Amino acid sequence: DAKTTQPTSMDCAEGRAANLPCNHSTISGNEYVYWYRQIHSQGPQYIIHGLKNNETNEMASLIITEDRKSSTLILPHATLRDTAVYYCIVRVVSGSARQLTFGSGTQLTVLP
């Protein structure tokens, strides 16, 4: 699976949009971009994933650049409960590859 690069930490004001970047310049054509988050002392939680089109669900939006070398996770109205480590992961979804390879992620702190 392709390697990802994320900032170590970010702050965001409560109620504002949180934009979390991820670089994945070596992504291949059959790899998807996944985002998970881990709130302190809990297991990771799936947020969203995409291949090349932008995606939106009830939690977040995912913007993938046209060349697919980077993406941005957007939390439109961050709350204090969104404080967590956010992981960007790229992986294939078909075939025998089932592993999620977690990096160090971005520690997002939402400030009151």
Task: From 3-11, 21-29, 41-49, 59-67, give the range in contact with another protein by CB under 8 A.
Answer: 41-49
Query: Of residues 62, 105, 106, 108, which one binds another protein by CB under 8 A?
Result: 105
Q: Which tokens in the block code for residue 37?
A: 């988050």
SS3 content of the chain, % helix, strand, coil (to 5): 5, 45, 50
- Give 81 or 98: the residue with its C-beta nearer to another protein: 98
Q: Which tokens in the block code for residue 57?
A: 């669900």
Is residue 29 involved in binding another protein (CB under 8 A)?
no
- Give 26 or 45: the residue with its C-beta nearer to another protein: 45
Is residue 80 involved in binding another protein (CB under 8 A)?
no
Query: Of residues 45, 56, 65, 79, which one binds another protein by CB under 8 A?
Result: 45
Residues in contact with another protein by CB under 8 A are 41-46, 49, 91, 93-95, 98-105
